Amino acid sequence: MLNIFKRNNKKNNNIYAFATGDLKPIEEVNDDVFSQKMMGDGIAITPSSDFIVSPAAGEIVMIYSTLHAFGIRLDNGIEILVHLGLDTVAMNGEGFMKLSSVGKKVKAGTPIIKMDRNFFLDRGYDIDCMLIVVKNDKNIPISFTKTGYVNAGQDVIGEIGEQDE
């Protein structure tokens, strides 16, 4: 029997750009915690705009009080952390504006945080933003293959493989 409906029922397994800017491997981030994958595997973007968006459909499970990072749980249980800049936690929320809230269901491209890039650059901060896979209990394969300039919520930067059930 032909399985002609399978493609139509397939979930979107893409991870989209969480910022507009230059995408690069996590290993190129100027911080050992990220570049050596101590928190998990991921990817980085040097943003060229101020809006940081959800990289996939899921639920916002955490936004740090300092607004420098947020977490999303995808429908398949994978948890992703998006971290904005290096050492920006020291600004205690200054330079950030919260655009979403914990418990909110989001889709790829939903604005989460506005980051005033010039505010941080003027103070000497590195504005690289990282997406880290922090929880993947089912060991679902995830690949990040794209590099170069990407558009927030539009360009696919990674793929989540099919999980074995």
Element housing 150 (H / E): strand 148-150
Which one of 42, 83, 115, 117 is the catalytic residue? 83
Q: Is residue 143 part of a domain?
A: yes
Q: Is residue 75 part of a domain?
A: yes
Do 129 and 47 touch, CB atoms closer than 8 A?
A: yes
Domain holding 47, by residue range, is 14-149
- Indicate which CATH number applies to the domain containing 32: 2.70.70.10
> What average pLDDT does range 53-69 have in this prediction?
97
Number of domains in the chain: 1
pLDDT-derived band of residue 104, with 50, 70 and 90 as boundaries? very high
Q: Is residue 55 part of a domain?
A: yes
Tokens of 38: 């101590």
Q: Is residue 157 part of a domain?
A: no
pLDDT at 90 over 70: yes
Average pLDDT, the chain: 91
pTM of the model: 0.90
Q: Is residue 5 part of a domain?
A: no
pLDDT-derived band of residue 11, with 50, 70 and 90 as boundaries? low
Bridge partners, residue 86, by sequence = none
Q: Is residue 154 part of a domain?
A: no
68 counts as catalytic = no
Q: Is residue 162 part of a domain?
A: no
